[in-house]
Structure 1
């Protein structure tokens, strides 16, 4: 399911596997990356608006949606955000974009962060939605915070236990997050919700999602630690957006966390649930436009 009128659907072959993308518009290139448990469709509203002024590419992460799993021997290292980021840089180059801006939500934001850290001469602007870096996230989770983030621990289990548990009722498992993480009841209509569940419940996708989370537990956090200890920081303008937690007390301060990584930082807090691009597409689009600036149009 494309579901994005005016966008061209394509599979880009890089690093031995196919990455599914949709692209449209003209101008400065912007890559949009989705999160768990979704596909590129999370950007359908934002991408349509941005395409009026920019060249917009939306990709399914490796193993998610219609993208192949990464090539090579199976293991969490294949799903490291460093590897996925390099894959996305290669995808954009195949599409003719040597330099571009990147915005990600959730898991896609972690890939976008790694792309910006590892490829600072390629990434011109970075946007991260409703997430903090992996190393900061693991450090913040303690006490009852672990209850609400139980999936981080379950999906990262090194055996095939999570795959087997999810396969017993994937619609209930993935539907739990689509339903409970959304504040706006109409943000994810029935056909889009069905498309997410259809993509996520495929055995190949379930395994890829688990490997993605295993990578965060056993690979990505170490990459973050090495960068932090070396004093590496983001050199491009950065946009960080997150949901207003309301009465919930977060175990971390997103503003402080991102300020430690990004000297040139702008932030927005939106009254919504986790799925910002679907619940607050106009505000997200406006913030991305402000990030990239008039000079790139």
Structure 2
């Protein structure tokens, strides 16, 4: 079973009280931090990370609650807030001597990256978000039967207990559903990587649910407060995503522009797992971003 990226060194990095992240690092040059999405681990960046390591220091953590990082019990409402998870990433980069870095995230990792850009503008020099909308906008655009594509969002938003029980009872089937349905190229996630994802998720159901529950509660509060205050992402921002807008009735570039004045928004001809399905396009876009 594949659990590591060849050529990368692995570290256990303390980032908060009783929380340490599993972090892969390779390369040299200006730093880029890559954050994974659901239902994956840092392995989703294996192709892009290896490419970028030719001319950058590449830092690839498992988010708190995922993969081989610590999974604290959600004893507080903010244990898995994107604000707290973003602070983890800033602390992890600092542990390697980088107070300023470019940051890219996919899916859940993109929401953490978005929050890091708002909360830590002095640390995040460039920001890329892959195939996601900001939390507040995501909930606003889901409506009617088209919201069925996000059924898991509503399931994991429920109070603790039932979601964890239902998902744990069929964890492999639940997480494999997204790996199967959200990719245009199944070969992009080969069997050893797929097995690693399912194994990691199987052991992290409570923390994954807590992460999603935060996005239906405290993360919305943080986004609303920033929107009311007129907060913006001050760094150059690149967004790569599928063209979901036509089906769900929104204009993604307009939603992102409200948060990111310096925006390069592009649609991609790939499935949700774009970093695995089209790593060349993603790596090229990140290199263009850091040159801005």
TM-score normalised by L of structure 1: 0.95
Deviation at 1:70, TM superposition (A): 4.0
Corresponding residue for residue 10 of structure 1? 11
Corresponding residue for residue 145 of structure 2? 144
**SS in structure 1 at match of 2:92:** helix
RMSD: 1.4
CA offsets 1:149-198 (integer angstroms, 9 cap, x no match): 00000011112111111111111000000000001121100000000000
Deviation at 1:269, TM superposition (A): 1.0
Corresponding residue for residue 157 of structure 1? 158
Deviation at 1:245, TM superposition (A): 4.3
Deviation at 1:3, TM superposition (A): 3.3
Corresponding residue for residue 275 of structure 1? 273
Deviation at 1:251, TM superposition (A): 3.0
Residue correspondence of structure 1 range 29-68 to structure 2 within 5 A: 29-68=31-70
Corresponding residue for residue 254 of structure 1? 252
Gaps of 5+ in 1: none
Corresponding residue for residue 26 of structure 1? 28
TM-score normalised by L of structure 2: 0.96
Deviation at 1:134, TM superposition (A): 0.4
1:227 is aligned to 2:226: yes
Corresponding residue for residue 286 of structure 1? 284
CA offsets 1:73-130 (integer angstroms, 9 cap, x no match): 6244110000000111011111111100100000000000000000001100000000
Gaps of 5+ in 2: none
Separation in structure 2 between the aligned mates of residue 96 and residue 144 of structure 1, nearest angstrom: 48
Change (3 A) 1:220 1:4: same
Corresponding residue for residue 206 of structure 1? 205
CA offsets 1:255-278 (integer angstroms, 9 cap, x no match): 111111111000221111100100
Corresponding residue for residue 92 of structure 1? 93
Aligned residue pairs, count? 290
Separation in structure 2 between the aligned mates of residue 102 and residue 76 of structure 1, nearest angstrom: 25
Separation in structure 1 between the aligned mates of residue 218 and residue 197 of structure 2, nearest angstrom: 27
On the 8 A contact 2:72/2:207 being kept in 1, the answer is no
CA offsets 1:179-236 (integer angstroms, 9 cap, x no match): 000011211000000000000001xx10000000110001001100110111110100
